[in-house]
Structure 1
Amino acid sequence: PKYNSLPLLIYFNIFTKQAGPPHFIGCLRDLRVDDVPLVPVHWPKGSTESLTHGCIERDRCVDDPCQSRGTCHNQWLSYKCECDSPFEGQDCSEENIAGRFGDGELESYAVFTIDDDPGQDIVLSMRVRTRRRSGLLLALVNSSGSYLRLWLQDGKATVRAERSPSLTGRLALSDGALHHVTVRVQQDQMALFLSSQKQGEVSVSMPPVRSGDAVYLGGLTDRRSSASFGGYFKGCIQDVRINSRRLQLYPIGAPVSSYALERLVNVTQGCASDSTCRNNPCQNGGVCYPTWDGFTCSCPSHAAGQLCEEATWCERSPCPPAGVCRPRAQGFECFSNATFYDDSAVISYKGNGKISRTLSYISFRIRTRKLNCVILHAERGPEFVTVSIQNSYLQLELMTGPDASLKLTLKSQHAISDGEWHSVEFSMLVPSLPSSKWIVNVDGKGTISSVRSGNLDFLKDEADIFLGGFGVDVGGSLAGCLSTVEIGGIALPYHGNSEVDIPRVQDEQFLKMSPRAVRGGCSGADVCVAKPCLNGGVCQDLFNLFSCTCPSGWMGPRCELHTNPCSINPCAHGNCSVHSLGYQCICDAGYTGANCEEKTDPCLHHQCSYGATCLRGIHGYSCLCRDNSTGKYCHRPKLPVSVCGNEHRNYTCFNGGNCTDGIASMCSCRLGFTGHR
């Protein structure tokens, strides 16, 4: 009776191997039969099993026995782990092994056979890892064909059941991360989930999943059928489930209920990455760091972009002030203009021995007034090329190629020695051929050669290339401005490696061999420094040529001519008349010179003869004849004079005439003379 008033707890742990419902496990209190308390101490010896006093209640999950984020469920004497995908086992310590599909770009797939009847309502799930944007993930196939397909389209999961619209997820899976994909078909509705996030739902009409149906992972046996859904999958597939059944690619230690694997074609165990850095896809000196099925490039300071393909050499301003930096494959180049004078030194170059491209053209811009000069000359053995100006026209002379005995000569259509900039390109019409016709293009106007010649590959090695003349010892002949010349797209730089802040790193280069610095920019002779314009004219520099802008009243190349030259009375002793672009003075007697400023000597060129004396007069001269001559210029000999008459009246006959006395005196003239006397 005393025991009846005390609470009594009895812990039962009863197991049985007999068939039937399991025995009770737990605690009982105040157990009475016919209101009579049953106290264990009064029970016959041997009548109890697995029974103790008190109520032992210990949480078996307190020690967190489930690994890999598994959920623990306490069961008094033990615990049960609910494992997250892809883990299995009593403690969730074993991971379902992934299968690597498409390793080495091989066509791979796996085939399983359904051996039960899941029916129409199913939950299909898998873990996917890929960087590809397309590929077939799973297909359910019966005797009539595939009736449910799950594939990647533009990186997104897409699912479609037979005779039903497709359903595409909103999130992309092609980022190289693991994604959990779930397709749930229930009551003719199909929903798509990505990592528990619902992506959408559509109505479907799908046949039930039956025993004997096949499940294809990664692709179908037929390549064409696989191509309809993005082709064979490349990446990893892990922990595929249909309801509670697994599609196990590789066995693990823990017991797993899986459908039978029928075929495994080119699928490798695990989820190893491709060797994406094996051939170093990073450019411009970038360092490749592999990621799963991908890589990242660590770019040096001079490069940017996913592959370091965007060279940023020019952002570091490596060129001198006169140069403009332009990116080149794997490097940069400094472009500028250069000024050449008649006495400028010729610049020499050589290839660096690493030029691999075909050299099929020469391009540059030029500004000159020189009628004849050499722009570029290069030779190696019998092969040579010369670009020159002949009588104001550009000319290419080339001897190279399979038939090096035939010289190609090509001249431009138009003259270029006008002091203006001209764009020039000499190029092969068909660079891929061993020999071809060439074309010269000046400011967009082309001329094609009549004969063929080879390319300029002989300039790659050991050839001396000269700018501005035929050679260093010959001297320069170009006077004017020249841009950076390019041969096959490789520059002949005016700035050597010692003149730039960063060494050029590109493989293909022409090296400047001349140590002397080049005069940068474009400047002609200072033609106005001598003040060639007169009378207040303004001099204009037209590049190695000047022009005078004359003030009002003046004209001529140097403003040396007055527009009305007579208005300033230039003739000192004469009359002015306008004549052509100038004037003419008609001098007064006794004056001479362009402006009648000089007095003349009338006797300087006199015509007095027979020893006569020239007598200067105001408006000329006269001749003082000797006794034996007479006439204006004393040209005639002086003939005798006869006189007749008396002392009161006489009559004289000249030039040998005879005087006759009579009533009236008269002269009888000699032959050749006439007149009264």
Structure 2
Amino acid sequence: MNLSSSFLNPVMVLTFTTSSANNTRSRGSFIGCLEDLQIDYQAILPLDIPHHESSPVELGCNRTEWCHSQPCSQRGLCVDLWATFRCDCTRPYEGQTCSHEYPAGTFGLEDSSSFASFTIADNPGANFNVSFFIRTLKPSGLVLQISNGTDPCLTVYLKSGQLQIATSSANAVTFSEHLADGRRYLVTLTFQGGRVHASHSDRDVELGQLAVLPLVAGFEVYVGGLPHQDHVSTWGGYFKGCLQDFQLNNHRMEFFPTQAENYSLPQQVYVGQTTNLAPGCISDDTCKSGPCHNGGTCTITWNDFSCSCPANFTGKTCEERVWCASDPCPKATSCVDVPAGYVCLANATFHGNAAIEFTTNASVTRALNSLHLDFKTRDEDAILLWATEEVDSLQIAIQNSTLLVDIRSGNSIEGVSFLSQTPIADGTWHRVSLSMEEPSVVSSRWLAHLDGSVNVTLQGNAGNLDFLKNNVLIVLAENFTGCLGHVNIGGVYLPFTGQLSYPQPEQFLQSSRGHIQLGCTGADVCASSPCLNAGTCEDLFNSFRCACSAGWEGPLCESNIDDCKSSPCVHGDCVDSVADFQCDCFRGYIGKKCNINVDDCMRHQCLNGGTCVDGVYSYSCKCPAQYSGPRCESPSPATCVRQDQVNLDDP
């Protein structure tokens, strides 16, 4: 039989019967349109084919674009099958339109002991896979155990937030992804040929060799825990969180048989027994114990909580008071919150002999491995800070207008030292920060950061500054005239507002007080308006600098800048003005700098076809052969071309 068709006009939709389809390789019926059908070169017309209500043949070629309306929910993929459609669903969704979500189970709700158990009904053998969705905040707990009735064959459990896979005959292998962060993860464990692979978030990792006893019908599967509490403690206790769409070789372990109207359980499913298992993914009532203090409002955030704190409290449970919210500091100071308290900070002005001394109280327990100090001075030699105890010492000073740092502490004999390359006695603010490169060791290198420079590694080694905690005297601003700003050692401030009492246990206390003037105020050097010609006076602490307006220079902006100094006039004489110049151009030139030659041909024309050639304050005419004269105005018997120049001063 010869069957052919050509594409003319669509005439019918043809569907083979089931008995005919069984004779095809695909065992499926054809669904679609045929046109100009011929059998043994005989045209088969639509009227020749019997059609009735039960006939698989319809006239015309009308069809529905099934996927156009996007019938598949939850990111399911729609497949158009001509007469209908199919949704390829993503886990954990199922059903004709992916609208059914496989129910999750909540284990350990309100810290109960929960587990589910199933019996394997087939023989998976030694090559199989286990997959599930997991969501938890508890870093340890039993996820899965398969037992032959007496001993565990395979155990999957969480330890430090990572999955461990163990058998009775081998050490556990670890899946290093951290899963205990409260988010939902799909994890697949594949056991093949004595090796185990793990996949998560499209990432497949081979975990190593792990021989597993072949699984056979009758083995017990425990999820989330075991019947006896003392047996589960070996694996980190009961699992707490949510597990969903648990599968063994694509056989689902159904925690809660669904009764959805448009969905029926597939045949490949295990229905087991559950204990203390709650349907859905439910959080503990984490707010029932009232964890938020000081009037904070508790909000449940799935097995955790958050506290909305009043304005003057902060922390996980609103336990930490925000002291600065109540504005406790006096005027001219700024409030800074510190652990368990606050400190009122202000710049201070020192005049030569007004040193200030500090000692630490007995409650400073932190390691003192850093120092920060702000200063402003014109002193070329002065002590900013120093302290000493037996062989340990600390000094920050100004030497020959440069910054000097010297630290000798710990078991290091050499200590560390630093001398800045740039002068800092310029009356502007400078900031120095010092820190140990390795604060956990007894002695290490130190890093220095001055103003905006990169960190500089100091020469030598030294320990931390913990010797200051031994009631050692810390002296600031000895023989120093200038201003100090924020000063802290190990993050503990040395405030100049020493008369105030602070609540925090860790403090540096003033042991003696010289004359301190809060704020940074030197002599009012700009009061007399020393800068002339609209210059701006900049206070540099007991000195000033003038920022001159355009056209002026000098210490007081007293000198008019000679704008003619660079000889800007190309063809002319320069006349200086304020921030400008004028050029008196020579004849024949124009422009700001007299650098443009006037085109004299613009206002003068040559006669009788002559060509004008521009000069400097002149022009000339290049005449045809039969004409001559300055403008080619005269006939000429000569045969040569003449060019006569006309000076514009000529009559």
Please indicate the TM-score interval, normalised by the length of the shorter structure. 0.3 to 0.5
The alignment's TM-score, normalised by the length of structure 2, stands at 0.47
